[in-house]
Structure formats: structure tokens, C-alpha cells
Homo-oligomer: A and B are copies of this chain.
Amino acid sequence: MRDQALAYASEHQQLHIEQLMELLCIPSVSTLPEHKPAVRRAAEWVRNYLQNIGMSRVELIETTGHPAVYAEWLGADPSAPTVLIYGHYDVQPTDPDNEWRTSPFSPTVIGDDLYARGAADDKGPFFALLAAVACYLQSAGRIPVNIKVLAEGEEEVTSTNLPLIVAERATQLACDTILIADHPMATPEVGILMYGVRGNLYTELEVRTLPHDLHSGTFGGVAPNAFNVICQIIATLTDQHGKIAVPGFYDRVRELSTDERALINGGLANEAVVLALTGASALIGEAEYSVAERMSVRPTLDVHGIRGGFIGAGSKTVIPAVAVAKISMRTVPDQDSHDLFALLDAHIQSVTPPSAHAMLRALDSSQPTIINYQHLAVQLAEEAYRLTFGATPLYMRGGGSLPILAEFQQQLRQNGHPVPIVMIGLGLPDDNIHAPNEKLHLPIFYRGITMIIRYFALLGTELAASERLHPD
């Protein structure tokens, strides 16, 4: 069965690239209202594709935003595990358009690369997962595992409706493992298995000192200035190295085991590499943690901007009454966004002078997620990477946030344990996601399909005994 699928994949590379290019032609920019019909067309394209390759119960799920898509194929052996594939068919906007060398929605192959918005994030890698399913169904008429697919058109707009869908359809979505391909490999040979993400707590801090702005000539020296105060408050949030100085902030940070530390530091991130990548003249962060650790398993605090006051040309001498800072924190297991918000707020109130009123608002939050990387479902993905790319992949915890993971972990459980989420990388670090000239490296795309075919086969045999799926 596996070999039939592998042969089919090898013979139909051109078909797969043509199919992907159809999907890439659809300008499914989820954040732009004028592209709303295009996001629906992308959903319909995915629905039709899943129908055509022989999936069942194919459904366009309407939401208050962009539609999602569900499909399943449950014809595997009774003992075979069920894999839930998650992906998204919406894309980022294309601006700045003048920096594209090809038209973003006219997919263009140049050498080994396919250029188009969404090529790497996430239409290409997501389609590789679907194509692997197709290779089995088209060649052998069956798959070694049961497959469910849940795809959405709102990933680039914070997956607004997906948590509702997951909660409402927890029974329908029941599975043994979740498979996602939405991040890069480390190199064209070395894959990355991502087994966790940081959470995010995004806040606005509003400091008000006066009912309205005043003139610094008249009242300078006595009237409290909202910008002076907000800078003083913000300066107390971190030390000079970027370590967070809010009391209690690190209390629930899970310390790394020696094994995990070795795993994380076995990656490619080090000071020289990150200095080169960022262009910074020096890095910040806690001296007692490595660069790789600071980027992925340690919490952070960044100020994104401060609105209010006068920022026009020239020299207006206003004492600003209000300043509003956007401040976010990346959080790590076992920190809880609600607890951190309370800690931050208490600290801010304690350092706010009597001349000012500070109000902290949460704009957005997601919990950090960690998956047991020793789970067999993850280990078998490592084996599939090695069999296909010839190199052992790296294990990483992502520095960014993927709120839907926490939702999956909360809603999709078996025997009281969250279902393991296997995140494989099928892009490259220089794919220009969210930027002009996004591309997909085609050799990785073809090998990715092969790798997933192998992974399904490994899951079907090694994990056939379902009790082995839940060592968590």
C-alpha cells in the first residue's frame, strides 16, 4: 500500500504542482474584506479537491467569518489510528506590492522554487498533506490510517471561529494524533519537529495624568506628563538585559530537564547566527540561558509602540494627558495568561505615582502549549523525516504562538490526555512568508509528500495498537 502510494507520488509530481498552482491563484487574503469571496473560493477548491480524491462527509462549514472545511476517510483497519490534519488556505496581504518580482497570485516557477503568496504559508505544505492522502486513495484505494481534515480560512486573522468549531465538533474531530505542516525546516535536509509554542498576552497600558493636554510653558514643572510617567513604569518592567522584573512573573515557568535542554541547544540557533539574522549589534536576554532557550522556552516582554502626545514635525510643546503603550509578553509552560495579567497589573499599580492613573487592558491572549516530544507519534515523524531526507530532524519549541493548539489540547482528549500534535516543517527559513516574494522550494514539496506517505504507513503499523498512543 505504501509503495503504491510512493510510486504514485513519484509519477504525479507535475499533477500535484499544477493542482497547488490552482489553489495559489486564488487571492484568499482573509484580512481584506474585498477578498472575502476569494477566501470562500479557496475553501470550495479544498472541498472539491477532497471530494474528488475520495474523502467522505466533505463539508463547507459556515461561520460568521470565512468558511472552514471538514472531510474524513475512516476506512482503515479497525485497529488503525486516526489522524486529524489541520491546515489553512487563507494568506497574508501582499503589500508592499512593488517589491514582488512576480505577481503574487500568478504562481511562477523559477528554477526549483515556486513563487506565490501562500506558497509556503500554508497552501503548499497543507496541500502536501492532502496530496499524500490522495496518493494512497488514488493508487491503493485505501490509507493505513483513518484521516480527518479540518482546514480554515482565518488563520491569519487569529482563527476567530475555529475554537467554536472545535468545541462544537469535538466528537466528530476525535482522533489519535493531529498533524500540522506550517513551519520551515532548518535546512533543505534537516527537518524541524516543533513540540510546543509560546503563549501570548497582549495588553494596552493607558496612563492618564490630566483631563486634557496642557502647555509645557505654562505648566511645565508642576503638571504630570503621561509620557514621562509611562516611560518610568515601562522601565520597571524589565531589567537592562530584558529579564522581566515583575514580581512573581517567573514563578510558574517550568524548568527544562537536562535532556530537553540538550535537545533545544542541539539546534542551529546560537549568538553568531542570530546576530547575523537580526542585524543587531548585541543581543539581549537572560545570561543564564542560551540564545536558543531565550528564543523559545523563556518568556519575553516587548513594547510595540506608544500612542498619544505629539509626534508630528516640528516642536509642539504639549504636556500629554494620555499615553497608551502596547505591551505584549510571550509566555511559556506553565504560565497562565490570566495570572500574569493580574501580576502585571498589580506591579504597574504599585509603581504608578499618585499624579497618574494607570489602566491595563488585555487585548488578546493565548496559552502556551507543549507536546510530549517523546510520544511515539512524534518519534515516528522523526523516523519519516530521516527515511526521506536522510538526516535526523531537530526538535524545537516555537517562539511564536499558535492559539489553536491550546484549543485542540483542551477539546480533543483521549483518556484524559490531550491528543499529541505533530508539527512538521516543510518550508525553508528564507521562504519570505508574510513578505514579498514568498516561495516554496519544490524539491522539499515533493519529498514532503513522500515523507507523509511514509509517516502514515509508520503510524498504521507501529501505532496500530491504540494504547501505545497515550503515554502522556
CA distance A222 to B230 in the complex (A): 23
The A273-292 residues at the B interface (CB cut-off 8 A) are 274, 277-285, 291
Q: Which residue of B lies closest to A362 (CB)?
A: B315
* Chain B residues, CB < 8 A from A150: none
Q: Is A306 an interface residue (CB 8 A)?
A: yes
CA distance A385 to B266 in the complex (A): 84
Report if A231-B231 is in contact (Cβ < 8 Å); known contacts: A294-B221, A304-B320.
yes
A308 to chain B, nearest CB (A): 7
A301 to chain B, nearest CB (A): 8
Contact A283 B355 (CB under 8 A): yes
CA distance A121 to B328 in the complex (A): 46
CA distance A40 to B229 in the complex (A): 44
Cβ contact of A302, chosen from B296, B307, B308, B317, cutoff 8 A = B317
Contact B209 A355 (CB under 8 A): no
The A214-235 residues at the B interface (CB cut-off 8 A) are 214-225, 227-228, 230-232, 234-235
* Chain B residues, CB < 8 A from A238: 228, 232
CA distance A263 to B326 in the complex (A): 46
Cβ contact of A232, chosen from B210, B240, B309, B400, cutoff 8 A = B240
* Chain B residues, CB < 8 A from A320: 303-305
Q: Which residue of B lies closest to A203 (CB)?
A: B315
Q: Is A441 an interface residue (CB 8 A)?
A: no
CA distance A282 to B220 in the complex (A): 14
Contact B314 A305 (CB under 8 A): no
Q: Is A262 an interface residue (CB 8 A)?
A: no
Q: Is A319 an interface residue (CB 8 A)?
A: yes
Report if A222-B283 is in contact (Cβ < 8 Å); known contacts: A231-B234, A326-B311.
yes
CA distance A63 to B305 in the complex (A): 41
Q: Is A202 an interface residue (CB 8 A)?
A: yes
Q: Which residue of B lies closest to A157 (CB)?
A: B314
Integer count of this chain's copies in the complex: 2
Contact A216 B300 (CB under 8 A): yes
* Chain B residues, CB < 8 A from A299: 221
Contact A221 B285 (CB under 8 A): yes
Contact A295 B212 (CB under 8 A): no
Q: Is A242 an interface residue (CB 8 A)?
A: yes
Q: Is A211 an interface residue (CB 8 A)?
A: yes
Q: Is A401 an interface residue (CB 8 A)?
A: yes
Contact B216 A330 (CB under 8 A): yes
Q: Is A357 an interface residue (CB 8 A)?
A: yes
* Chain B residues, CB < 8 A from A319: 302, 304
Q: Is A364 an interface residue (CB 8 A)?
A: yes
Contact B304 A306 (CB under 8 A): no
CA distance A278 to B216 in the complex (A): 12
Contact B317 A227 (CB under 8 A): no
Q: Is A298 an interface residue (CB 8 A)?
A: yes
Report if A219-B309 is in contact (Cβ < 8 Å); known contacts: A210-B279, A282-B353, A353-B240.
no
Contact B224 A235 (CB under 8 A): no
Q: Which residue of B lies closest to A283 (CB)?
A: B222
CA distance A452 to B46 in the complex (A): 86
Contact A295 B326 (CB under 8 A): no
Contact string against B for A residues 334-359, beta-carbon threshold 8 Å, 1 for contact and 0 otherwise:
00000000000000000001111100
Please name 19 further chain A to chain B contacts, defined as beta carbons within 8 Å, in addition to the given A217-B330, A227-B304, sorted by A numbering. A202-B315, A202-B317, A210-B279, A211-B279, A217-B400, A218-B295, A222-B278, A227-B234, A227-B305, A227-B325, A228-B302, A230-B231, A240-B353, A282-B353, A302-B317, A304-B318, A307-B311, A309-B326, A317-B328
Binding site for B on A (CB under 8 A): 198, 200, 202, 209-212, 214-225, 227-228, 230-232, 234-236, 238, 240, 242, 274, 277-285, 291, 294-296, 298-311, 314-320, 324-326, 328, 330, 353-357, 363-364, 398-401, 434
Those 9 A-B pairs whose CB atoms lie nearest each other, nearest first: A217-B400, A305-B309, A235-B235, A220-B300, A307-B311, A227-B303, A221-B294, A211-B279, A202-B315
